[in-house]
Amino acid sequence: MNKTEKTNIWDNKILWMIVSLLLSFLAWAYISSTEDTSVERIFTGVPVVFQGAEELRSSRGLIITDASADSVTVKVSGSRASIGNLHAADLTAVVDVSGISQVRDMTVSYTVRFPDNVNMSGVEVHSKTPETIEFSVVQENSKTVEVKGVFTGSVAEGFTVDPIVVEPASVTLYGPASELDQIDSACVYIDRQNVSATIGPLNSEFVLLDADGSTIRPASVTSSQTSVTVTVPVLMNKELALKVNLVEGSGATADNTVVEIEPKTIQVAGSTATLENLNQIVIGTVDLTDFAETTTITFPITLDNNIRNLTGTTEATVTVTVTGMETKKFTVTNITLTGGAGTLRTTQKEIVVRGTAEDLANITEENIRIVADLTEYAGATGTIEVPARVYVDGYEKAGAVGDYTVSVTLG
């Protein structure tokens, strides 16, 4: 046989199929011959289950506490087919508590339960360690505690973390009074680094704390819920300039007026969407016709509800000074009524006019007139002080300062 013929034999697929079937048959025959062989196994960590505990709680208000063990070790024998593939988690150590009706301390034996698919014929439990489970049956109590939110991370420069919002703000705990008395509150810890945007809402598990703020894990306490909804507001910090609007008039404009505000700026916090395009806050309006040369006004610093004042200053002092202008007094007798009929009682009025020195030198009483509008007084009777407007004809950059009224008899 040459080399080519040998290679063809080893490459024959039919030959390999026959070999595979033969090997499979031999393996099956071996396993079948050992399935009925009796083996002995030790299972460590078999979980303890209290059968009827839920009914005990719901119908009688009793709960199981202080169990001496939550798992046991058992030695079992049986056929390899029955127990050969089992694990400790497949078994349970069942303590039947369904017949308990009162508070008491108990020591009870337990039954080892196998999965339903195990053929129990020939299966035998030889030993159990421990052989009994000790536990207490106590009255269940409840306690409502606050759920706090604590941020343990870091914030990006220029941002502030607001107090965490937790929903619901409290949870109800159930368990023995001895364990509930140790619990002071619940807490959610949020750990994020270099945050610059609001976190959440997200579902987070909480831990229980004692009065010293230490985490505790009571063995028999349950909760109305295992998680809460948490939102961590993250706000932008920004320095905003304070500003006042000016009502120009009587020769005073923004160009010849000096405005001083103390403080000039405040630090605020708000959402990025609110603050990113906001650079100043208007705190009020100053009418330049209300005073002659200088006025000082205190304005409250009022912010939108979604902006927080980090500086804490709630008022600003505004001093406004008109420069390059002078004032002069005139006694004016040119007083008229418009918008209705009435009898003037005021025959002359002293007026303060502001303007440039050059304009004031040329202005006379003949250039000034006072007009009272009676439109809003239709139907009124008696003598009334009516607001009046002062005109300085021929001089656009001059005007009266202050508020004026004239006495008029109506009806």
Q: What is the mean pLDDT of the chain?
A: 91
- Grouping H, G, I as helix, E, B as strand and the rest as coil, residue 154 is coil
The residue with greater pLDDT, 36 or 126, is 126
Q: Which has the minimum average pLDDT: 34-43, 249-258, 297-306, 367-376?
A: 34-43
Are 132 and 51 within one domain?
A: yes
Burial class (CB in 10 A: 0-12, 13-18, 19+), 396: exposed
Q: Which helix (H) or strand (E) holds 354?
A: strand 349-355
Answer yes or no: do 194 and 246 share one domain: no
**pLDDT beyond 70 at 234:** yes
Could you check whether the bond before residue 130 is cis, i.e. omega within 30 degrees of 0? yes
Residue with tokens 């439109």: 375
pLDDT of residue 1: 47
Q: Is 92 exposed, middle or buried (0-12, 13-18, 19+ CB in 10 A)?
A: buried
* Domain with 289 in it: 236-322
Verify that 285 and 346 share a domain, yes or no: no
Confidence of residue 153 (pLDDT cuts 50, 70, 90): very high
Q: Compute the distance between CA of residue 371 and CA of residue 380 in angstroms, rounded to an integer.
A: 19
Tell me the mean pLDDT in the region 319-336: 96
pLDDT attached to residue 11: 61
Q: Tally the domains of the chain.
A: 5
Mean pLDDT across the stretch 122-139? 93
Q: Which of 305, 322, 339 is the last residue of a domain?
A: 322
Does the pLDDT of residue 284 top 80, yes or no?
A: yes
pLDDT of residue 28: 54
Residues 132 and 44 both lie in one domain: yes
Give kind and range of the element (H or E) at residue 82. helix 80-83
User: Are 51 and 134 contained in the same domain?
Assistant: yes
- Within this chain, do residues 355 and 373 fall inside the same structural domain, yes or no? yes
Same domain, 160 and 223: yes
Q: What is the CATH number of the domain that holds 250?
A: 2.170.120.40
| 353 and 401 assigned to the same domain | yes
If asked whether residues 119 and 147 sit together in one domain, one would say no
| Boundary residue ending a domain (138, 168, 184) | 138
Average pLDDT of 40-44? 95
**CATH no. for residue 50?**
2.170.120.30
- The per-residue pLDDT for range 171-192, each reduced to its tens digit, is 999 999 989 999 999 999 999 9
pTM: 0.59
Q: Which residue has the tokens 């505000």?
A: 261
Decide which of 264, 297, 322 is a domain's last residue.
322
Q: Which two tokens stand for residue 174?
A: 């159930």
Report d(CA 61, CA 141) in Å as an integer.
8
Confidence category of residue 7, pLDDT binned at 50, 70, 90: low
Residue 269 reports pLDDT greater than 60: yes
Segment 391-404 shows an average pLDDT of 94
pLDDT-based confidence at residue 202 (cuts at 50, 70, 90): very high
Percent of the chain residues topping a pLDDT of 90: 79
Residues 37, 83 contacting (CB under 8 angstroms): no
- pLDDT surpasses 50 at 144: yes
Whether residues 21 and 43 share a domain: the answer is: no
Beta-bridge partners for 252: 249
State phi, psi for 178 to the nearest 5 degrees: -60, -35
Confidence of residue 17 (pLDDT cuts 50, 70, 90): confident
Q: What does the pLDDT read at residue 220?
A: 86
Whether the pLDDT of residue 35 is over 60: the answer is: no
Q: What is the pLDDT of residues 344-386, one digit of tens each?
A: 999 999 999 999 999 999 999 999 999 999 999 988 999 999 9
For range 272-288, the mean pLDDT: 94
Strand partners, 232: 199
Residue 76 backbone phi and psi in degrees, to 5: -130, 145
Handedness of CA 385, 386, 392, 396 (dihedral sign): positive
From the centroid of its chain, how far is CA 301?
26
Band of residue 405 on the pLDDT scale cut at 50, 70, 90: very high
